[in-house]
Each structure stands twice: as structure tokens, then as C-alpha cells.
Amino acid sequence: MENGTITSGWLSPAQAGRRLNVTPQWARKLAEAGKVRAIRTSLGWLFDEADVDRLFRERDARRESANTPNSPA
């Protein structure tokens, strides 16, 4: 287990949730909605680490743009 990941490149729901600042249950809902790449195994969900990071960056960029005032016209 490298860097706390189950296998290289995959995260548990708890790990994905921590990276996205959501609960593991909400991370699973994001996966079910197709917002983040994940696979369901016989032991539970595994989240693609790179895709979790992509979603975090997208959400962070949206938050920043929402907090940036529009330039004067």
C-alpha cells in the first residue's frame, strides 16, 4: 500500500471523499452520476486517483471564479 492508496492509482471512497472534501457516501454518488471515474468491485468502490484530482481541480477553479469580481465594463 503506497501513500495510503489501496493499489497504485486507485482510492477508497473515504480517500476520494477526503480529497474532494465530501463524505464517502457523496463520493459514491458522484461516481454513480458519472462525475468521477470509479469501478464497483465485489469489495466496494475504487476511485481513479487521477480523475478524483481532476474533479477537485475543476471544482476549485469554479469556486475561485465565483469569488472573483467581474471586471468593470
Residue 32 located in a structural domain: yes
Residue 68 located in a structural domain: no
Note if the pTM is more than 0.85. no
Residue 54 located in a structural domain: yes
What strand order describes the sheet that includes 38-41? 10-11, 44-48, 38-41
Residue 23's alpha-carbon distances to 30, 67, 71, in angstroms, are 11, 24, 36
Tens of pLDDT along 42-69? 989 999 999 999 999 999 888 888 877 7
pLDDT bracket for residue 70 (50, 70, 90): low
Q: What confidence score (pLDDT) does residue 67 get?
A: 79
Tens of pLDDT along 1-29? 445 545 689 999 999 999 999 999 999 99
Structural domain that includes position 22: 10-62
Q: CATH number of the domain that 37 lies in?
A: 1.10.1660
Give the number of other Cβ atoms within 10 Å of residue 52's Cβ: 24
Residue 19 located in a structural domain: yes
Does the pLDDT at position 37 exceed 60? yes
Residue 39's alpha-carbon distances to 7, 10, 22, 33, 62, in angstroms, are 13, 10, 18, 12, 26
How many domains in the chain?
Answer: 1
**Displacement of CA 33 from its chain's centroid (Å):** 12
